[in-house]
Amino acid sequence: MTEMNLKHIAIIMDGNGRWAQSRSHERIWGHIRGSRIVSKIVEEADELGAKALTLYAFSTENWSRPVGEVTVLFKLLKKFLLKERSRILKNNIQFTVMGDTSKLPDKTKSLIASLEEDSKNNTGLMLTFAFGYGGRDEIVQATNKFIKENPGKELTEELLQSYLLMPQLGDVDLLIRTGGDQRISNFLLWQSAYAELYFTETKWPDFTRGEFRKIVEFVSKRERRFGNICSSDLESSKLMAVENKETITNL
């Protein structure tokens, strides 16, 4: 198997509410069904050879949703932690929650802390739930922390990166959004600067391991230039440089 070039995959799991409403159910039913997909996608990411999978489970903006819906999302997180704990540990996965978890119930907070602690030395997939997370908030927090710790020093890209919530995750290689909308919605803003973007119409509860695999295979074949030009053009431009010297001088 060739080495996977998409090391960090991030997913905006969108479309739960519309999935339920289109079936004449309440929105929360969509979240419940959507939560069942999460572990399958984690398994697939691991099998595909990704190093990190970051899932947007609850944004800073989601606080404005009805209390009942927020409570369901909290409960689904707790259920996931209880149900998946042993599998996460058995599969050498390193689990972390990134964001503001202060408003979660104490029991859920302690389940998170215990799984983070028990999986911290695992060397396999880094699984991160972004919960109570916002990309702008993360950048502001990182900047403020830097200023406080380094008065008078100039901030660089490398330094800001090192002050993010989880610098070890690195840049996002592939950002997938389900549910048909084509937005980033304040997710991993700094880390996605050069991410490949993929938007699927499939709503999260209908998303499958098969579709995930196809997206990864499709995007792996894209050429990523990171602001440069493609390698074959680079070679021919080197050859032409000598001939063009005169033209450039005369510009």
Cβ atoms of residues 120 and 148 within 8 Å: no
Q: Which is nearer to ligand FPP, 125 or 142 (CB)?
A: 125
Contacts of 218 (CB under 8 A, 6+ apart): 198
Please tell me the distance from the alpha carbon of residue 177 to that of residue 201, in angstroms, as a whole number. 9
Minimum distance of ligand FPP from residue 27's CB (angstroms): 6
Q: Which is nearer to ligand FPP, 48 or 132 (CB)?
A: 132
Would you call 150 a catalytic residue per the annotation? Answer: no
Q: Which is nearer to ligand FPP, 58 or 163 (CB)?
A: 58
* Catalytic-role residue among 14, 16, 173, 186: 14
Q: Which helix (H) or strand (E) holds 198?
A: strand 196-199
Written as six digits, the tokens of 85 are: 């704990």
Helix axes 67-90, 27-48, angle to 10 degrees: 20
For binding to ligand FPP (CB under 6 A), which residues are involved?
Answer: 13-18, 27, 31, 34-35, 38, 57, 62, 73, 76-77, 80, 179, 204
Q: If you count them, how many residues does the chain have? A: 251
Please tell me the distance from the alpha carbon of residue 22 to that of residue 11, in angstroms, as a whole number. 23
Smallest Cα–Cα separation from 6: which of 213, 205, 230, 232?
213
Minimum distance of ligand FPP from residue 90's CB (angstroms): 18
Smallest Cα–Cα separation from 177: which of 14, 7, 9?
14
Would you call 14 a catalytic residue per the annotation? Answer: yes
**Sheet of strand 94-98, all strands in order from the earlier edge strand to the far edge:** 94-98, 126-133, 52-59, 8-12, 174-177, 196-199
Minimum distance of ligand FPP from residue 95's CB (angstroms): 11
Q: Which is nearer to ligand FPP, 78 or 213 (CB)?
A: 78
Q: Which is nearer to ligand FPP, 21 or 144 (CB)?
A: 21
* Catalytic-role residue among 62, 91, 100, 137: 62
CA distances from 246 to 235, 238, 239, 241, 249 (A): 19, 15, 14, 9, 5
Minimum distance of ligand FPP from residue 177's CB (angstroms): 10
Minimum distance of ligand FPP from residue 160's CB (angstroms): 27
User: Taking CB positions, which residue lies at the least distance from ligand FPP?
Assistant: 17
Which residues are part of the catalytic machinery? 14, 62
